[in-house]
Every structure is written in structure tokens, then in C-alpha cells.
Amino acid sequence: MSEPTYTALVDDHLLFHGTLPALLHSLKAHEDHHASMPVIFEDHTGLHIDFDLRGTLDEVLSRYTPTPESTERPKASASTREITLLPRHWSWLDEHGSASATLRRLVDTARLSNIEKQTATRATEAARHFITAMAGNRPQYEEALRALYASNEDSFTNQTRTWPKAIRDTALRLATPAFTFHAQNHAQKPA
């Protein structure tokens, strides 16, 4: 899994987008020179998050960044289990080569499909959280929300066009995995 990213906005303008250590550096630098407080969102969930910036940069970093974990790779091992299938299932597996390899491919395909669907659902919810917080009182908010849940990227883009650029761009960035997933699945369905 990739490292979590964050978005910080000040007065509807993008201050920062990136990883936690870089965010904390940016927040401390901003705090030292500006009175305005950034609004920070965790990109994975779209939820507002606050950080305690008291102390030096090193103190802030030690408070929020985890200690490095062991770089030792886990040992890969296969386990043997018994499965029971009907004769027609065994026949089908035999037609497709090694039963074990075929079962592994089927499980991996199902897992990936489920992971992609979960990613799309998470992206929709993250975008919803973000736009509710940052654009809930803006024109076309409800229409944009409907477009988000309908996975209609063109309508979503159209509904958000009058919003400040940083809010519009962040909302679209958070929603893009959902739009992509639904566009790919719609294209794969037979007409």
C-alpha cells in the first residue's frame, strides 16, 4: 500500500498536497509566517484532520511519523488444504491446466476485482466527505453529489466548475478512482 497523502487548503487555495512528513514541514513553515490556519484532509478518507504543531519541527515529526519498521521480508509459504468439488468442477479445472494454478488465478482475479470495487467505493466516500466540508454551501453542491454517486465524471466536472480551483481539483482527484472504475466496468459490459 502506498504512503498516505494529505491535502491542506488555506482560504480555498491549495497550500500542500503530499505525504505526512512533507505536510508537517509545510504546516510548520506556514505557521511561522502566517496567522491563517490551514484546513487539512486525509486523502484516503476525505476527512478533516488536525495536527498538534506545538514545539519544534523535530518534535512534531516525532509525534506523528512512525519509527522505521524492519525491512526483513516475510517468508512466502504455501499451505495445503483439502477442497471438495463436484466432478464437473474438476473436469473444468483439468481443461484449464493445473488445478492449483487455475484456482490461484481465479482467486487472484476475484480478489483484484473486489479490491478495485472497494477502492472505488472509498474514493466516492472520500470525495463526498471533502466536498461536504469544503463545498456544502456552494452552488451546485447537491447536483455535484448526485453526479458523484452516479459516477458521471462529465456532470461532476460541470457541476463543480464555479467552485474555487483548489476545491474543484481536489474533489476531482479524490473521485477519479471511482470514475475510472465505473467507466472501465461500463465499457466491459456487453451491449
Q: What is the pLDDT of residues 28-59, one digit of tens each?
A: 999 888 888 899 999 999 999 999 999 999 99
pTM: 0.75
pLDDT at residue 73 is higher than 80 = no
User: What integer best gives the mean pLDDT of the chain?
Assistant: 87
What's the pLDDT score for residue 131? 97
- Cα separation of 59 and 64, whole Å? 9
- Per-residue pLDDT at 189 exceeds 80: no
C-alpha cell at 185: 466496468
Distance CA 15, CA 46 (A): 16
Q: What is the DSSP letter of 36?
A: S
Domain boundaries, the chain: 5-64, 98-188
Supply the pLDDT for residue 190. 58
As a whole number of angstroms, the distance between CA 125 and CA 98 comes to 41
User: Is the pLDDT at 93 greater than 90, yes or no?
Assistant: no
Segment 94-108 shows an average pLDDT of: 78
- 81/65 Cα distance (integer angstroms): 40
